[in-house]
Structure 1
């Protein structure tokens, strides 16, 4: 039996939502995020994908494999139907659930997600990435040069943690907003940062990016449940991917919020309210 660690948030009688994190990510969420979940009356489960946290690695997993993991977790929780959301690298996995579990998924919200990537051909340059959003050096390295991928992950994580050690906040503030309090003064924040950017996350992030750059295992045209693709006004890459995704899924709607890759509190609350409203509209329960 596959082990999948998870955390539950929100009231026990709330609307059931499966939330799939980014690449990298942790199932442990900030207090402001938990407050929004509770305020909107959602019962949200956030699992660690294989290779993150306490969930053992599953080399060679595809994006589609997430649907099996999610269905098994929902069975464990006693959920017959539920909404699904995915942020950034969790977006493709949320779409897999929407496509492959149509009788169980009430609605799907993707936030700052990505469309299928291509890793064929030579190593992409910055110009290649700028001209074609489907090209990604990160995914290309994951598929063709895992050692360099690991080195880049370590370098990026070191830079993030160095900024935190210098007094930076847990996450970048929204454009025009003041930074949050120093994360180094908050043990819980440091635990979340270590879980996300520590060396233990590199396997999960590597496997995510291999999955993004190889066949996903389903067709986007199979996504027929109510679906929204959200992106921030200052997140140009997510905007270009939102265009690709909505072109591939005619029934999907693209929604823009004021902010960056990580939605600010007001936008996150709007996304959660949409999930609840769309679930109500389908007449589905639990």
Structure 2
């Protein structure tokens, strides 16, 4: 089956004001409606989605490596707020106007930070990580996730060092397969998809584990913005069969109530891989807001 993980049409790096560069990959027409992709944990710009949909839909998908991952230079101590500042500059330099955004899995808080900063016109959160350190999840996290959240709250620097010691492409690939239901394993182990996924992971760790570790600290900590202040449309997509311990514990139910502009889409037969199994619906719904 074709899960839409096509080769990028264009690759590049954009220089920031402080001299760092952000690496990116693009699919779809160069003059299409821009959609920024915030990839999931421990992956890079190489793993896109919707390859068979983008041209006909007139969508220019732009996946951006976060600092320290893939082709993006590191930024020690970076935050969700500084990430939004980096993307503000990238949008200006590449004349993207006001794009839309997609945040997959651990990329969700990064996409929502762009919405909170007024940089995008709509967001699709797909199988997204939630604000796991929020009090509403005090009693609903799996023990191993609760330990990570507590470690970040107690000593962020020590937690970051611990995550770096754990992080590698092989370790995380094994963890993904171990915590995924059969519906997701069928996608992830498809030969074409697995090649694209593993290449994206290998590139994500090409500079070492520090970028992954910083991402994880930010994902396990409190968000520096209030979801209630987000004013653009937000679609929250979750698969009913999703078993990932680091996605939203209630599949976006409480986050939908917190974001006044949010709509929740709970897909009964889908699991965590619905970015690739339901790409057309996700992109159609997202771009309809802007158009």
**How far is 1:201 from its partner?**
5.4
Q: 1:148/1:6 Cα in 2 relative to 1: closer, same or farther (>3 Å)?
A: same
Contact 2:122 2:290 in 1 (8 A): yes
1:146, 1:33 → 2: CA distance?
A: 33
| 2:81 match | 64
| 1:8 match | 26
| 1:150 match | 164
Asked whether 1:174 is paired with 2:187, we answer no
Q: Give the alignment of 1:201-240 within 5 angstroms.
A: 202-236=209-243, 237-238=247-248, 240=250
Q: 1:214/1:36 Cα in 2 relative to 1: closer, same or farther (>3 Å)?
A: same
| Corresponding residue SS for 1:11 | coil
Q: Give the alignment of 1:90-109 within 5 angstroms.
A: 90-101=107-118, 104-109=119-124
| 1:37 match | 54
2:210, 2:150 → 1: CA distance?
A: 16
Q: 1:141/1:203 Cα in 2 relative to 1: closer, same or farther (>3 Å)?
A: farther
TM-score where L is the length of structure 2: 0.76
**How far is 1:65 from its partner?**
2.0
Q: 1:275/1:183 Cα in 2 relative to 1: closer, same or farther (>3 Å)?
A: closer
Contact 2:70 2:206 in 1 (8 A): no
Q: 1:219/1:163 Cα in 2 relative to 1: closer, same or farther (>3 Å)?
A: closer
**How far is 1:207 from its partner?**
0.8
1:246, 1:173 → 2: CA distance?
A: 27
Contact 1:119 1:136 in 2 (8 A): no
Which structure 1 residue ranges, 5 or more long, are not aligned? 165-170, 281-286
Contact 2:184 2:272 in 1 (8 A): no
| Corresponding residue SS for 1:194 | helix
Spell out, residue by residue over 1:31-85, the C-alpha distance to the aligned partner (whole angstroms, 9 max, x if none).
Answer: x643333343201111100010121221222222221111111111112211111
**How far is 1:115 from its partner?**
2.3
Spell out, residue by residue over 1:170-189, the C-alpha distance to the aligned partner (whole angstroms, 9 max, x if none).
Answer: x98735957522778x5x66
**How far is 1:145 from its partner?**
3.2
Q: 1:202/1:108 Cα in 2 relative to 1: closer, same or farther (>3 Å)?
A: same
Contact 1:14 1:42 in 2 (8 A): yes
Pick from 90, 95, 100 the counterpart of residue 78 of structure 1: 95
| 1:167 match | none
| Corresponding residue SS for 1:78 | coil
Which structure 2 residue ranges, 5 or more long, are not aligned? 1-17
TM-score where L is the length of structure 1: 0.77
Spell out, residue by residue over 1:102-132, the C-alpha distance to the aligned partner (whole angstroms, 9 max, x if none).
Answer: xx42211111112223299xxxx9x86238x
Q: 1:201/1:268 Cα in 2 relative to 1: closer, same or farther (>3 Å)?
A: farther
**How far is 1:272 from its partner?**
0.8
| 1:284 match | none
1:207, 1:159 → 2: CA distance?
A: 15
